[in-house]
Structure 1
Amino acid sequence: MRLSGRLHHDPDAAGQAGGLREPRGLGARRLALMAARWAILTGALVLAVAGSAPAHSLLLESSPGAGSVVTASPPELSLRFNNRIEKKLSTIRLRDEHGAARPATVRVADGSADWLTATVDVLPAGAWRVEWRVLSTDGHVVSGSFSFRVAP
């Protein structure tokens, strides 16, 4: 038996397809389901973007301060961030004006969870660059640097 080439083009096409096709366009129920899916996906995307943006750590203050001139070598470097950080996985590096590294030992157990502190040896006069790298509690690694000068 041969079917006509007009299958699914007749006015009774729904009957030819066993009642599985709707003869004209999408049904109201299907449109409502598609609209609901889009609303859920859009809402999830907005929440994901809004929830993650403020979680990254930002340096709020430091001692010595960025761009400051101190008259004596600081015994420690202290950095305060806008949220909690994972101290065990965070670092502070200190470099002189020629780029040579100087020891800076992070004190993991000290202070509140938004402060990172490192002890340093006595620093001679000159320009110093503090390079920091912290792991935010949201899992993102954030880094930055600032300079200060020792001028007795």
Structure 2
Amino acid sequence: MALGAFVVLAAVREGHAHGAVSMEADQCKLKVDSYFMHFTGYQPQSSRAEFCEDIPEVGRTIIVLDFVDESLRDIPVSVKLARDDGVQRMEMTDTSSSILYIPPRKYPNGTIKIEVNFEKAGRYVGMVAIEGRGQSVANFPFDVGRGWSLIRLLAWCLVIVSGAVGTFLWARRRYSIGRELSSANHRQRRVASMKRFVLVLMAVLIGTTSAVLAHAHLIRSTPQDGSEISVPIDPMVLYFTEALEQRLINVALSRDNKSVSGLSQPVLSGNGRIVNVSLPHLSAGLYTVSWSVVSIDGHRTEGKFEFLYREP
């Protein structure tokens, strides 16, 4: 999944205590002991950009952890987010520095969704613990409120363009001193050409930003792209960045380039951004899911992903 130049993917840092956040195939992967989770975060109130580690703005933030290893669904997992107070080793308990603590519990659907409100910019630490034979903890530090939002980026682009145009006009005026001035009509044509250039450039910048914000992009899915599963999925779930038109959702399933029938009609949930589709009984094989959707403002997007199903 790509969101063009506005997708934010943070730099990789090493974790501590048997864990780390890393990048693989444009997705963030969190390692806890020998287990892996996909890490995705976004701030819908400020932009549609995804981030891997650092959080660009303060405010409401949604973080989703998807289990790569199915065996994790039967193991208690706990999560903690805390301010980095300089303590070398943090305890996996609810302390005064915690802004979020989720005690150990099992997640049969293989997904942990966290919603938190960061009120202050600064340095924070995330912790994920697996309560198996002993406790394995992954620590990953991250910054909040030190990134670039789309609006801020657009504002800086306009400032740079305005500065460049101003510099050009100033240099042209100085160059013209002492020379014979052109006719009034010629000067007017030059000024009109410059105005058209500035207007076109601003339209391109604004149009590009609007296109990124308006299109519905697939954030993630259950099953995930490239995953291997051995338990039936019911329903299959697709998560999008924008609300969708119910009647214009198309989801198809194929195996070995042959269409698979028996899918239910797509059902919307989650403020119109989540698509649920019940699947028929599947036999072992590599499946391709093809989808096309239209956001409520009329923009169409499409894509596909694959998963491997092995019969239990």
Structure 1 counterpart of 2:292: 133
Q: 1:67 to 1:36 in 2, by over 3 A?
A: closer
Q: Which has the higher strand share?
A: 2
Larger radius of gyration between Structure 1 and Structure 2: 1
Counterpart in the other structure of 2:184: 26
What is the aligned counterpart of 1:61 among 220, 225, 230? 220
Cα shift at 1:140:
2.3
- TM-score (norm: length of structure 1): 0.70
Identity %: 24
Amino acid at match of 1:143: E
Q: How far apart in 1 are the matches of 2:257 and 2:185?
A: 73
Q: CA RMSD in A?
A: 2.6
* Runs (5+) with no aligned partner, structure 2: 1-181
Say which is worse superposed, 58-67 or 29-38, in terms of deviation: 29-38
- Count of paired positions: 130
In the other structure, the counterpart of 1:13 is none
For 1:150 and 1:37, the matched residues in 2 are separated by 57
1:74–1:122 CA contact under 8 A, matched in 2: no
CA distance 1:66–1:38, change in 2 (3 Å): closer
Choose the corresponding residue for 1:119, options 275, 278, 285: 278
Distance, in Å, in 1 between the alignment partners of 2:241 and 2:269 is: 17
Q: Which amino acid aligns with 2:205?
A: V
Deviating beyond 6 angstroms after TM superposition, the runs of 4 or more aligned structure 1 residues are: none
Q: Note the C-alpha offset of 1:97.
A: 2.4
CA distance change for structure 1 residues 41 and 111 in 2, over 3 Å: closer, same or farther?
A: closer
Partner of 1:4: none
Structure 1: which 5+ runs fail to align?
A: 1-23
Q: Which amino acid aligns with 1:82?
A: T
Deviation at residue 125 of structure 1 after TM alignment: 2.0
Pairing 1:1-152 to 2, within 5 Å after superposition:
25-26=183-184, 30=188, 34=192, 35-151=194-310, 152=312
Higher RCO (C-alpha 8 Å, min separation 6)? 1
Judged with a 3 Å threshold, the aligned counterparts in structure 2 of structure 1 residues 44 and 126 are, in CA distance, closer, same or farther, namely closer
Return the alpha-carbon distance in structure 2 between the equivalents of residues 54 and 149 of structure 1: 32
Deviations along 1:28-85, one digit per CA (max 9) or x if unpaired, are: 9836862445433432332222222332222111001111111122122111112222
Contact 2:249 2:266 in 1 (8 A): no
2:258 is paired with a residue of what secondary structure?
A: coil
